[in-house]
Amino acid sequence: MGVKVRKHRGAWWLFIDHAGQRKARRVGTGKEGKKAASLAAVKIQAKLAEGDTSALEPTPSHHATPSPTFAIVAEEWLQKYPALHAIAPATLQNYRSFAEHHLLPFFGNMPVTAITVQAVEDFIEAKRAPGGSVRRVGKALSDGSLRTGLLALWLILQRAARRKLIAANPMNDVEWRGTPHIEQVDPFSGPELRASLSAAERLEPDFATLLQLWAQSGMRAGEVCGLQWQDVDLTNGVVKVRRTWSRQRLGPTKTRLERDVSILHPIADDTQEWRPGAVEPAKTVVHGLRRLAVQSLEPEAFVFQRGGEPLSSMAVHRAWKRVLLAARVRYRSPEQLRHTFASTMLSRNAPLLYVQQQGGWRSASVLLRVYARWMPQGFGSWATEQPTATPAQPSPVSLARMKGQNAS
């Protein structure tokens, strides 16, 4: 019972408790705020003693500052976040696209204070139901897309909480666990890969060189397409991976780190050797690069290009389908060449950290989680011959920080 002065969230407050009624009122900050709160507490206590309970009445709405809508907060976040954080253009585009197609239609006109745990869970339920997807009519939004979008929502509401627009981020209490992300690993066997490279050589020799380089380096698709002549050391069979080509623009690698990669690993060859250049056929990729139909003396020219631009994803997939059809090999996406590199290298007892560094995986634990079944029973040389790897930089925000989320 009575009136108490307390400091809460950097400001001085009055907490009034009288005849079963309670009310909290923010007074101000600093020494002046404390002084004003103490004086007000004395006055209110005196009024309550005289039976005057006006201090417990609701504060007139015209004294309160209207809460901004979610749309205003989201747009501010989309402008501020990339200016304050190192974020890949593709990631920012994913956030913006999800906000425009999903978050704003659902939450846009709501005051940000009205976005409660229940409102977020209603949004998740609606997106996972038929009709939740925008691109696929009548279909549910995939958990992968939803996971990315919920991270954007978490970041938006976290900014609102930091600005004191809301008391706390409701996402921290959301109950949701999406389907765990499972890497679809279906590598090519040695005979399949050799048949595919042979068919590509007959159909389009330049594309055969691209495929051989891809398989023998373990690079990502965008890294292969973004390769420039200034990155290539034909004498030593090494390339420097510096960038990626995605959505018609250049950007940093997925880990934002550069790395030197050998293109001479004998992935397609019938051998148990994993070391670069251990067998002669693996070295033919250098000859293939030297004979490319279109070459440029400009260091920034793309190695694999059409009209001066890197090959598009659509062009690569079209050519890839023709190759597998001619080779009579069961279709898998060309991204399986990267999986083929990792599984083959590890099955031949290549050092774990070496494979991680060459392929640019964030950590050795990723390789263990995805490719463990291809590793021999004995660890052999994994404990030796392991070159120093630069540790990957942790992401500043993870879905693991959202309760109920699976960040795999």
Amino acid at 85: H
Q: For each successive 10 residues of the chain (408 residues), what is the average pLDDT?
A: 78 80 78 80 83 72 69 92 82 89 92 91 92 88 89 94 91 79 85 97 96 97 95 96 88 89 96 95 96 88 92 93 97 96 96 95 88 74 40 37 39
The sign of the dihedral angle between the CA atoms of 218, 224, 226, 229 is positive
pTM to 2 decimals? 0.63
Helices (H) and strands (E) in the chain, counts: 14, 10
Contact present, 261 and 354 (Cβ < 8 Å): no
Nearest-CA neighbor of 231 among 239, 223, 221?
A: 239
What residue ranges define each of the domains in the chain, with the CATH number in brackets? Answer: 2-63 (no CATH), 70-173 (1.10.150.130), 190-383 (1.10.443.10)
- Report strand pairing: 21-28 vs 232-233: unpaired
Q: Which residues have a Cβ under 8 Å from the Cβ of 11 and sit 6 or more positions away?
A: 26, 27, 28, 29, 33
Q: How far apart are CA 157 and CA 120, in angstroms?
A: 11
The confidence score (pLDDT) of residue 271 equals 95
pLDDT of residue 58: 67
Question: What's the gap between Cα 180 and its chain centre?
Answer: 15
Please give the pLDDT value at position 60. Answer: 54
Q: Which residues of 156-190 are buried (b: 16+ CB within 10 A; e: fewer)?
A: bbbbbbeeebbeebbbeebebebeeeeeebebbee
For residue 260, list its beta bridge partners: 240
**DSSP-derived pairing of the beta strands 238-241 and 259-262:** antiparallel
Q: Is the dihedral of CA 248, 252, 258, 259 positive or negative?
A: negative
